[in-house]
Amino acid sequence: MKEVKIESTLYVFETMEELPKEAFSLMQKAFEARDKAYAPYSNFNVGAAILLDNGEIITGNNQENASYPSGLCAERTAIYYAGSQYPNTKIVRMAISATSKNKPTANPIPPCGACRQAIAEYEIKQKSPIEIYFMGETGNVAKSTSLANLLPLVFDKSVL
């Protein structure tokens, strides 16, 4: 038996104001999307904004349902729309912000496992990294230079 260590790297900005200009404005789009989320059951609003390499920005937010599992996260709402409308256009970057009506969100809130898996699919498909910035409502912003950092041991088409 041998031990296998898996490492990944994240960068943390103290506040949103420290972000590179383009990431800052994409995060603002994520805020706008977040504030339009339909989340009456969890009171947890999430917004995602995606920059495509044709300059287009796609946004999405979480959409909940009285039948809970029928709802969808912000990241997948946005990325599936991007994939459906721009199947051959690469995704450059994604910005995500989450707020809760129940408690303050001042720490970076990472995308859930299912969303990481969905983003991974597109990163692998386009053969170039997708930058991910994520945060709560305020405070630190985390940056990953690739989805791969957030999902080591990805399940992908190579095993099928």
* Residue closer to ligand THU (CB basis): 71 or 139: 71
Smallest distance from ligand THU to CB 11, Å: 19
Residues 9 and 61: their CA atoms lie apart, in Å, by 27
State the nearest-atom distance from the C-beta of 37 to ligand THU, in Å.
7
141: nearest Cα among 96, 104, 77: 96
Smallest gap from Cβ 82 to ligand THU, in A, equals: 16
- Going by C-alpha positions, the residue among 148, 149, 132 that lies closest to residue 74 is 132
Q: Which parts of this chain interact with ligand THU (CB under 6 A)?
A: 39, 42, 44, 46, 62, 64, 71, 73-75, 111-112, 115
Q: Which is nearer to ligand THU, 17 or 65 (CB)?
A: 65
Q: Which is nearer to ligand THU, 39 or 141 (CB)?
A: 39
Neighbours of 143 (CB within 10 A): 21
Catalytic residue positions?
Answer: 75
| Most distant CA atoms of the chain, gap in Å | 51
47 within 8 A of 37, measured Cβ to Cβ: yes
